[in-house]
Amino acid sequence: MPETVRIGTRSSALALWQSEFVKDQLEAFYPDLIVEIIHIKTKGDKILDAPLSKIGDKGLFTKELEVALLDGRIDIAVHSLKDLTTTLPEGLTLGAVTKREDIRDVYIAPPGKKYNGLEDLPREATIATGSLRRRCQLLAYRPDLHICDIRGNIHTRMQKLDASEWDGMLLASAGLLRMGWHERMTQIIDPGIILPAVGQGALGIEIREHDERIGALLGPLSDTVTRQATLAERVLLKHLEGGCQIPIGAWGRISDSILYLDAMAGSLDGSSIVRGKIQGEPEEAEKLGIDLANELLSKGADKILAAIRQTDIKPDSDERT
């Protein structure tokens, strides 16, 4: 009997694209493999009437998938890597990290407004985003702007923007590229203005620990360069969080056999941001992440973290797009 692999996925268009991508890759490498896609609704899909910052833990879009993995209903769970917690539940592991798409964020102007980018926005313009990371860095760049929270999948967000009086919205380039919506990108934002979320642009494929069969099947799908770069980012995030999430951006990349890592941590209103960068051997990704996290803490990220702990806001897990 042919071998079967069951992929668990959320039902949004972007999540389905990601799972179909993994399915196509598996079938290309293993023509006799039967790959099934199982739809699973997560807490983040069910609660749509509150900001992520009010309800968010980083398991909002992953927990139900992880339960299905542990109880054997599915064999792999496909996530946007930025949604995946830095400490996985006992019994689960990261089986593969796919080659990264564009890591940058984009500004999207609504129909009828002819802005070319963030610099063209009038004073006190209104920008929509569900991400505290984006909010922080955008307000640091343009303190005059008003930020409007937005929820929903990528289709819902685009519909809300088009029906609104807002002056624009921020999303991840990767999600728009995967959906084929290149024409809606008004401006690709330089990482010097807004650093991306940890893991942004990569897919993380979660599996049961010690599942050698599935681990072996996923081998050809994992990209070593992306895995090393995002490992540095994820270790940095884990070291900074200390049980609480704050607006954090990080960008790891490898060039000429050197791993470069930039990172920031900031206050909720963007009035206080600490930044740092480090470089080293890709094989030292974990050490680089820890060292840069410690540098940020020494520059004041510890105070930012302490201040956020005193608020009633639970910072979000960034967002899916």
Concatenated DSSP letters for 32-76?
Answer: T-EEEEEE---HHHH--SS-HHHH--TTTTTHHHHHHHHTTS-SE
Provide the pLDDT for residue 60: 52
> Which residue, among 120, 156, 132, has the nearest Cα to 52 in the 3D structure?
132
Tell me what pLDDT residue 126 has. 98
Model confidence at 228: pLDDT above 80: yes
Q: In which band, very low, low, confident or very high, does the pLDDT at 321 lie, cut at 50, 70 and 90?
A: low
Q: Is the pLDDT of residue 162 over 90?
A: yes
Residue 44 has pLDDT above 70, yes or no: no
Residue 61: its pLDDT value, please?
60
Is 149 an active-site residue? no
Mean per-residue pLDDT for 181-191?
A: 97
What is residue 42's predicted lDDT score, i.e. its pLDDT?
66
- What's the CA gap between 253 and 282, in Å, rounded? 9
Domain covering 105-188 in this structure, CATH number: 3.40.190.10
Catalytic pick among 75, 83, 102, 291: 83
Burial label, 116 (beta-carbon count in 10 A; 0-12, 13-18, 19+): exposed
Task: Detail the DSSP E strand segments found in the chain.
Answer: 4-9, 34-39, 76-80, 92-97, 105-108, 126-128, 146-148, 169-172, 187-188, 203-208, 248-255, 258-266, 273-280
Token reading at 246? 């704050």
pLDDT band at 152; cut points 50, 70, 90: confident
Supply the pLDDT for residue 41: 78
Report the range of poorest mean pLDDT among 30-44, 252-266, 307-321. 307-321
For residue 56, pLDDT beyond 50: no
Domain ranges of the chain: 105-188
pLDDT, one tens digit per residue, over 90-137 is 999 999 999 999 999 999 999 989 899 999 999 999 999 999 999 999
- Reduced to 3 states, what is the DSSP secondary structure of residue 296? helix
pTM: 0.90
